[in-house]
Structure 1
Amino acid sequence: MPRSHRRRPEAAGDDSFERLLAGWKRTEIRRGVEWSVQPVGAERAVKAYTCPGCGGTIDQGVAHVVAWRADGVLGDHADLAARRHWHTHCWRIG
């Protein structure tokens, strides 16, 4: 019997989207400090945050970036806990 060439539906709970999203994470150097930067799409922005760049509100449903120190000065857990949500524009000019 010939094989089907149709894609199988992904199993519930499959984290392939999470893995894809994690692939967008990048490292940047700003003012001599290494940062991990990860974009957050509008559909995943489920809370409002205060942007440290401009002090304005990043509303729910607005795409933005999350940044945290990647150099491990305070330890990985502390650096991740200190992550901040930025307007994409504010991060670029900051």
Structure 2
Amino acid sequence: MASVPRSNRRRPDPEPRAPLGAGVDRTVSGPDGEWVVRELRGTTSTKSYTCPGCHQDIPPGLPHLVVWPSRGTFSPGEGASERRHWHRACFGARGRRGGW
């Protein structure tokens, strides 16, 4: 059986990637309203947060979500009191556990 040579060409990414540590915002709808969700990789996280779903710590460096109510645009610093840091699984199960 003959071996097939490997291609040295890099395949293009299927979609553009966000810069390291930066998240991409998306809107999520549910029975509890519309939320803007930003996924954080954890590489830029330097603080510990408490997840409102399970009330457990999200340690620095752990990938997680930052979530806030969808009301149009949001810029850093604006409405900081409404942002919450969630474990991914806890945000997905928020309807079964209750909100914040």
TM-score (norm 1): 0.66
Query: Which consecutive unaligned segments of at least 5 residues does structure 1 have?
Result: 1-15
CA distance in 1, matches of 2:32, 2:58: 27
The residue number in structure 2 matching 1:4 is none
The residue number in structure 2 matching 1:40 is 40
Aligned residues: 74
- Cα distance, 1:32–1:57 mapped onto 2, change above 3 Å: closer
Kindly indicate whether the alpha-carbon contact (under 8 Å) linking 2:22 and 2:41 is maintained by their aligned counterparts in 1: no
Q: Which runs of 4+ in 1 moved over 2 A?
A: 75-78
Structure with greater proportional helix content = 1
Query: Which consecutive unaligned segments of at least 5 residues does structure 2 have?
Result: 1-17, 95-100
| Cα deviation, residue 45, structure 1 | 1.7
C-alpha RMSD over aligned residues: 2.5
Describe how 1:5-20 pairs up with structure 2 within 5 A: 17=19
Name the % identity: 32
Kindly indicate whether the alpha-carbon contact (under 8 Å) linking 2:40 and 2:66 is maintained by their aligned counterparts in 1: yes
CA distance in 1, matches of 2:32, 2:84: 18
The residue number in structure 1 matching 2:22 is 21
One-letter amino acid matched to 2:28: E
TM-score (norm 2): 0.62
